[in-house]
Structure 1
Amino acid sequence: MPSTLHAAPPPVTRAAGSDFAPLARRVRESGLLDRRRGYYVRAVGLNLAATAAVWGAVAWAAPSWWAVLLGVPLAVLAARTGFLGHDAGHRQIAGSARGNRWLGLLLGNLLLGMGHGWWSDKHNRHHANPNHVGKDPDVGEGILAWTQDQAGRQRGPLRWVARHQALLFFPLLTLEGLNLKVGSLLFLRGRSRRDQVVEGGLLVAHAVGYLALAFTLLPVPQALVLIAVQHALFGVHLGAVFAPNHKGMAMPEPGVRWDHLRRQVLTSRNVRGGLFTDWFMGGLNYQIEHHLFPSMPRCNLRAVRPLVREHCAAVGVPYAETGLVASYRQALGHMREVGEPLR
């Protein structure tokens, strides 16, 4: 795989500032930015019904150890809930900011135990400056390193992790479900009293309800394993969806300024596929289209793809798209390349 650590697409010219406008106008006229309330009513209703049915199956299978296998569909359904909460955060569902916020609180805080306010703050900063070190929290310093400079600053056990991070990536994702909940709670420390009461109260309600359900339906050992299975696979599922979208794509150097079209397209990668890939990734495999039009209903992203591809070709902007396996190979290859100097 060619090095992506110092990818340097062509600089923006004076005329490039208007490159996005014709595409935006064409997409608005297509109606693909319109709300899809019927779709979301069905999606939320089916997801709630399926989740209730799986918990009913847990009650039926209890106290057998076979019940812990139902943590697998619970993890998949939790990811579907996460996708819907994501859409509420982008104001794709309801017609008002208030309506979307409350949908996000109910889907995220109450049903998932993941803070809507925390996620929205983090995710909106990512969308504003994708893959931009110092601005995008998704490539900030942490357990994993996204640039060789970050890897070189790691110390102690984290230096060993950076050295082997490509191999450790998916195992570490088993902790992401727990990390999302911890991050949501820590975020509330600096928030207003109202946010602490509303968001914190819903997070507590989720924790109490979830634990009560698990330990009421199952003996303690089986309940603990079910919780561990669901949270581990939930983290892996989300990581498997979001990792191919930007890892290994262009990372703007400090001081570099790209127009909206290039800032979003050059840093994003689409994952090509059919019905299974679209379902598995929730339609977010059309990441270029999602970044260009974040308020577009997720179910419309596939339909707008031909317009975006055609426009990028017309203005000479590279449009990255690959298969699912190749996308993981490229993302992990980038992580391996980042840690290479430490080996």
Structure 2
Amino acid sequence: MSIEFATKTEAPAEVSAEVPAAGRAAPRPEAGGSDFARLSRRVARAGLLDRRPLYYTVRFGLVLLAFAGGGYALFALGDTWLQLALAAVMSVVFAQVALISHDLAHRQVFSQRLHSEIGGRIAANLLMGMSYGWWMNKHTRHHANPNHEERDPDVAPDILVWSERQASQANGLARFIGRRQAYLFFPLLLLEGLNLSFNSFRALRSPTMKRPFLEGTLLVIHFVVYFGAVFAALPPGKAFAFIGVHQALLGVYMGCVFAPNHKGMLMVTPGMKLDFLRRQVLTSRNVRGGRFVDAAMGGLNYQVEHHLFPNMPSPALAEAARITREFCAEKGIPYYETGLLRSYREVLGHLHRAGQPIREAG
């Protein structure tokens, strides 16, 4: 029995009609600068690139308060299975710390790189247990070439395949999972928290890692305190259960935040020529949902604007989306946004179609 997904969604239908053929030059920019330069001037005139210190002070304060409160509750609750509910709550808190790390890495908070790196390492390495340097390197390459089959590490074939071309070349575990990867996507996210920690430690040996000793020391401190606190507060059985629930739900939360951003949108192949504006807009999906979705996704639901203006503070993204949407309409550039549940449906549909060559061959 197979999953039935629609073969077309709004995003691919709109995108395929507008993308230049492989090798064809992108449209020549109008006089007065490129399309992106024109859009940037509108955004800058609206003051949307200005720092928002009050917003980030309040946001950081609330997350740190929740983090400290979780630590207190761990010991206050004591030996009870209610600790599993606390583990679920702390998965949300840790994910919010990760989103803060993301904003710091993009220099949305501080204008100086040093301040951003200090804050990023404290939030990512020390509080969450994820390497800031490893993630920064990976995420920078993703922003430069979103959804590029050969250059974006987020769509590199690993356990999952993201295009039929990748599926036709898959072998080993990727080929085994690729047959039913739409079914397995959310279950696999249960392991994503562990995967982030594993890759963080593995990256310490990479020649591209800056300050590996500092990053490694902060990671070790995090996990010593993390495991020490859990096993000090709980007997072994409940401690392992707490860690399992916490890490599993953290992985699901992180995957649910990042997956709707690009998966199922235009996949860029070698030879395809797109200017910066179209490369970012056509490969990104915005997710509607109001203030709750804004808070849950840390502003990443405005993925089009985040990719166009990565150092724009999160609270400015909603207004930037209005300006960008109007500009794209003027230029005839497809701009795609949808609801949260539909975005997951589109992601699963894309995964199902991408695995088709493996199913046909098997």
Deviation (angstroms), 1:27: 0.8
* 1:44 alignment partner AA: F
* 2:116 alignment partner AA: N
> Paired residue for 1:310, among 316, 323, 326?
326
Answer whether contact 2:88 2:249 (CA < 8 A) is retained.
yes
> Paired residue for 1:182, among 198, 201, 215?
198
Q: Residue in 1 aligned with 2:61?
A: 45
Kindly indicate whether residue 122 of structure 2 is the aligned counterpart of residue 106 of structure 1: yes
1:67-82, aligned counterparts within 5 Å? 67-82=83-98
Deviation (angstroms), 1:106: 0.2
Kindly indicate whether residue 28 of structure 2 is the aligned counterpart of residue 14 of structure 1: yes
> Paired residue for 1:87, among 95, 103, 106?
103
Answer whether contact 1:63 1:218 (CA < 8 A) is retained.
yes
Query: Unmatched 5+ residue regions in structure 2?
Result: 1-5, 21-25
Kindly indicate whether residue 166 of structure 2 is the aligned counterpart of residue 150 of structure 1: yes
> Can you list the C-alpha shifts for 1:150-191, whole angstroms capped at 9, x where unaligned?
112222443220010001000000100011111111111024
1:1-343, aligned counterparts within 5 Å? 1=6, 2=8, 4=12, 7=16, 9-11=18-20, 12-15=26-29, 18-191=34-207, 195-343=211-359
Deviation (angstroms), 1:203: 0.6
Answer whether contact 1:177 1:235 (CA < 8 A) is retained.
yes
* 1:109 alignment partner AA: N
Distance 2:128 2:207 in 1: 20
* 1:214 alignment partner AA: V
Distance 2:340 2:136 in 1: 27
Deviation (angstroms), 1:194: 6.5
> Can you list the C-alpha shifts for 1:291-311, whole angstroms capped at 9, x where unaligned?
110000112111211101000
Identity %: 49
Q: Give the stretch that moved more between structures: 320-329 or 37-46.
A: 37-46
User: Secondary structure of 2:82's partner?
Assistant: helix
User: Secondary structure of 1:253's partner?
Assistant: coil
Q: Residue in 1 aligned with 2:23?
A: none
* 2:18 alignment partner AA: P
Distance 1:7 1:213 in 2: 52
Distance 1:41 1:217 in 2: 31
Distance 2:196 2:269 in 1: 29
* 1:22 alignment partner AA: R
> Can you list the C-alpha shifts for 1:74-132, whole angstroms capped at 9, x where unaligned?
00000110000000110111120000001100000000110000011000100000000
Distance 1:252 1:196 in 2: 33
* 2:241 alignment partner AA: V
> Can you list the C-alpha shifts for 1:16-50, whole angstroms capped at 9, x where unaligned?
67111111011112111111111111111111111
Answer whether contact 1:151 1:338 (CA < 8 A) is retained.
yes
> Can you list the C-alpha shifts for 1:249-292, whole angstroms capped at 9, x where unaligned?
11122111211110100000001111222122122111001011
Distance 2:208 2:300 in 1: 32
Answer whether contact 1:111 1:206 (CA < 8 A) is retained.
yes
* 1:319 alignment partner AA: Y
Answer whether contact 1:58 1:217 (CA < 8 A) is retained.
yes
User: Secondary structure of 2:211's partner?
Assistant: helix
Distance 1:290 1:198 in 2: 29
Deviation (angstroms), 1:325: 1.0
Distance 1:233 1:154 in 2: 29
Distance 2:210 2:98 in 1: 24
Answer whether contact 2:150 2:269 (CA < 8 A) is retained.
no
Deviation (angstroms), 1:340: 1.8
Query: Unmatched 5+ residue regions in structure 1?
Result: none
**Residues 190, 160 of structure 1: CA spacing in aligned structure 2 closer, same or farther, 3 A cutoff?**
closer
> Can you list the C-alpha shifts for 1:219-257, whole angstroms capped at 9, x where unaligned?
111111111111110110010111111111111221112
Distance 1:9 1:145 in 2: 25
User: Secondary structure of 1:15's partner?
Assistant: coil
User: Secondary structure of 2:18's partner?
Assistant: coil
What is the count of residue pairs matched by the alignment?
Answer: 343
Distance 2:207 2:67 in 1: 31
**Residues 190, 156 of structure 1: CA spacing in aligned structure 2 closer, same or farther, 3 A cutoff?**
closer
